[in-house]
Amino acid sequence: MPARVEGFPLPHRPGRQILKPVLRWAFVAAVLAVVRRYTHQPSLPRMSEQWLLSHQTDFNRNEY
């Protein structure tokens, strides 16, 4: 049985009133994406295996 909706009120909004919130949320999402990208990147490069092995005796540890 097909569904029918009669008298469903939709708010009349001109294009600008709809576009402003959409653009605001798009801007907020872009800013959050940039912040996430920079906070998830390590600030220092990883230590190489060669460096770890060369400093193994300095710290008295066999494994890192």
Please give the full DSSP string across 21-63, using - where no structure is assigned.
HHHHHHHHHHHHHHHHHHHHS-SSPPPPHHHHHHTTTTTT-S-
User: Could you report the per-residue pLDDT of 2-60, keeping only the tens digit for each?
Assistant: 667 677 676 666 767 778 889 999 999 999 999 999 888 777 888 888 887 887 777 66
Are 44 and 50 within 8 A, CB to CB? no
Model confidence, pTM:
0.47
Angstrom distance (rounded) from CA 61 to CA 50: 15
- If you compute the radius of gyration of the chain from its CA atoms, what whole number of angstroms results? 28
User: Could you report the per-residue pLDDT of 51-62, keeping only the tens digit for each?
Assistant: 878 877 776 655
- The pair of structure tokens assigned to 10 is 């939709």
